[in-house]
Amino acid sequence: MVIDFVKCPICHENINTFYISGGVCPACKGYFSSTAVANSRCSIKELKEERKEYREETMTKAQIKKMFDLSDDEISKIPSSNKYGKVRYRKVDVVKFLK
């Protein structure tokens, strides 16, 4: 499965194209044409950088478990985000939780 991300031209959210059905943005429910999607691909490099940054700033549950030996219950108390189709935890939030 190819997972691709586009920036919604209406709300500027980064959308996993997997979730786009019938040209309707899952974030703002706005309709955008395939032309708009094609145009937004111009910023794909920018998106990749943003994704890389996000990956560097966050970690997965498995990584937290391995690194800090926390239980699912403890990890569930840490704020999480699901920006690219996978739940990740910001390192700053993990550190805050550990303090």
Taking a C-beta distance cutoff of 8 angstroms, is the pair 40, 64 a contact? no
Report the C-alpha gap between 43 and 45 in whole angstroms. 5
Whole-number minimum distance, CB 43 to Zn ion, in Å? Answer: 14
Whole-number minimum distance, CB 7 to Zn ion, in Å? Answer: 9
Binding site for Zn ion (CB under 5 A): 8, 10-11, 25, 27-28, 30
The smaller minimum CB distance to Zn ion, of residues 30 and 83, is found at 30
Whole-number minimum distance, CB 80 to Zn ion, in Å? Answer: 22
Report the C-alpha gap between 68 and 43 in whole angstroms. 36
Give the DSSP letter of residue 86: S
The smaller minimum CB distance to Zn ion, of residues 11 and 67, is found at 11
